[in-house]
Amino acid sequence: MARRSGIIAFGEDEREATDGFVQALTTDSQTESVAETEGEDESEEEEQDPREQDSEDERIPTAHVLMLPPADHSGIESTMQDIFSLVHSRIDSFTSSYASSALGNEGVISQLKRDKFLVSKQVEESFRTCPRDVFVPDSQKAVSYDMSPLRLTEYEFNISAPEVYANALEVLEFKEGDRFLDIGSGCGQLTAMGAVLCGKTGSALGIDLSEKTVSFARSNVEKLKVESPRFVEKACEVDFMIANVFLLDVESLPSKDNDGRFDKIHCGASCPPSRLNALVALLRPGGSLVTPCGKVMLLTKKHMNGSTTQKNVAAVVYGPLIIPSDLEVIMHMYRLSIAKASRLEGHETMIEADLNGMLPVEKVRNLFMCHEGSDFTFVVEENGMEYKIPAHKAILSSRSGHFRALFNSNMKDCVCESTTPPEEYSRADLIECLRYMYTETANVKVENCVQLLRLSKFYDVSSGIFRLCEEVLYSSLDTSNAASILHLSNWYSCESLKNCTTQFILDNLDEVRRSEDWCHLDRDVVEDVLLESSKRNKMVTHLLNSFSQGA
């Protein structure tokens, strides 16, 4: 050991040398005191202490040094015990940090199992699949596996201690196919572990307020996919977004069953009791929420009848959730109502109901353009050529009001075996219309969209094909064609497309009014737009009044 410029350096295995070090410090100090008393300057002749000959390479890094105040020669004997205690304290701190960091991921897992935080094999596997060091900055890799919270100063948040994550995941009781929401997802580790527990058929979403933090989490998961084949094999897709949970538009989130709610929710910040119901509302029946609330970790379960039960699972200290102001909530409600009006209705599958058990759906799909069992023919003349397209009366009558009326009438046409579509419809248009009748799908493009709307209306085909056409037209919507699309949607009674286009026009009214098609809109269509504008104004007035009364 050596004393250099007021710094005491020590290694990791030198606890037993502390007493000798303190003795050396005393000797050095006493020697200096004698030299000062005698007034002798021996700086040129004094032999260098062999301990001072350590090379720079052998010195302990400055991260592991203890700063001491300058020696007080008059009172050093009385302060030696304090210095002795200080040295031991610093060694204890360093040794503890080194030991926990040296655990590695398997060491952390073993420690959690010994302390009964890890119980299930599933949660243990999530820890093994998503090691903590993947989710910390390179500058902090050395302390990745500390059994304590880790402060990421650069991102201004903490990664919770491993036992906190373990406890939360255990009490949530994940199952395959769950939909998971991680509020305050931070580095993304817990979100990724939730994705493992949800399995390939589930989904995992992490939300955070900071764009920088969300970007960090995304990059961490991408890195995990490269470093952990087990994660790619076992986990569902993980997504992150910038959002405040109290301003989350769950209806706009992708969901297999169009239900924006979640089976499992973890919250990484303390939720005030007054706001807890807002989080519970995001749960599906049968779902679970774990969130800090006050000084406890609270588990809330929503039962199938909508009732809830709560249980305290741990004592914790967390920072608070960021609560939006009342005005922010009101404006969010307004934006949601506009967004909902601007959202197309989903395409509902109707073929099974139309067939009413007459034939299996897969069998019907295989009969498209097939001569097997065909008892009806569409005859199309195009470019001097005659084309015959096979069809089946039973399927046509179940999927088309036109043919249902034709085949069930008492007129002589009911026994006909062929028909010729109107000349304005091409063979390609007819094939796509039939494709929809047989398979519930069609190759709809901007180029054939209007013709398919006309042909489907002519044959009174179920509204599903209208939905496909609406989606294509809406995807092409801009200020130059908004008026013409509004006209089409009104003419063909595409109410969902009409509502969405009206909202778009109101958002871009100045530009749309300058388009040529705006001047050719029917009067009643323009009046509908003005009426919707009036509704918007009333909504804003109502919301502002509500805010004023609340204030």
The answer to whether residues 405 and 482 belong to one domain is yes
DSSP 3-state of 425: coil
Last residue of a domain, one of 277, 309, 324: 324
- Both 228 and 267 in one domain: the answer is yes
Strands 157-159 and 262-267, how do they pair? Answer: unpaired
Domain boundary among 324, 341, 360: 324
What is residue 366's predicted lDDT score, i.e. its pLDDT?
92
In whole angstroms, give the CA distance from residue 501 to residue 480.
12
Same domain for 74 and 116? no
3-state SS assignment for residue 247: helix
Say if 191 falls within a structural domain: yes
User: Same structural domain for residues 407 and 304?
Assistant: no
Handedness of CA 355, 356, 360, 361 (dihedral sign): positive
Last residue of a domain, one of 42, 67, 101: 101
Decide if 330 is inside a domain.
no
- Using one digit for the tens of pLDDT, what is the confidence trace for 439-466? 989 999 999 999 999 999 999 997 788 8
Identify whether residues 365 and 492 lie together within a single domain: yes
Query: Which pLDDT tens digit goes with each residue over 368-419?
Result: 999 999 999 999 998 889 999 999 998 998 889 999 888 887 666 667 889 9
Judge whether 339 lies within some domain. no
132 and 76 part of one domain: no
Going by C-alpha positions, the residue among 85, 100, 101, 98 that lies closest to residue 13 is: 98
Residue 471 and residue 404 share a domain: yes
315 with 360, same domain? Answer: no
Same domain as 140, residue 85:
no
Report which of 264, 241, 256 is spatially closest to residue 184, judged by C-alpha positions: 241
Q: Is residue 331 part of a domain?
A: no
- Domain assignment present for residue 458? The answer is yes
CATH of the domain at 200: 3.40.50.150
The reply to whether 549 falls in a domain is no
- 372 and 310 in one domain? no
Residue 190 lies in a domain: yes
Domains identified in the chain, total number: 3
Give the pLDDT confidence of 205-259 residue by residue, as tens digits.
999 999 999 999 999 999 999 999 999 999 999 999 999 999 888 777 766 555 6
In this structure, the answer to whether residues 370 and 514 fall within a common structural domain is yes
pLDDT in tens, 168-216: 999 999 999 999 999 999 999 999 999 999 999 999 999 999 999 999 9
Is the domain of 272 the same as that of 410?
A: no
Range of the domain at 134: 105-324
List helix spans (H) across 290-389: 326-341, 351-355, 361-366
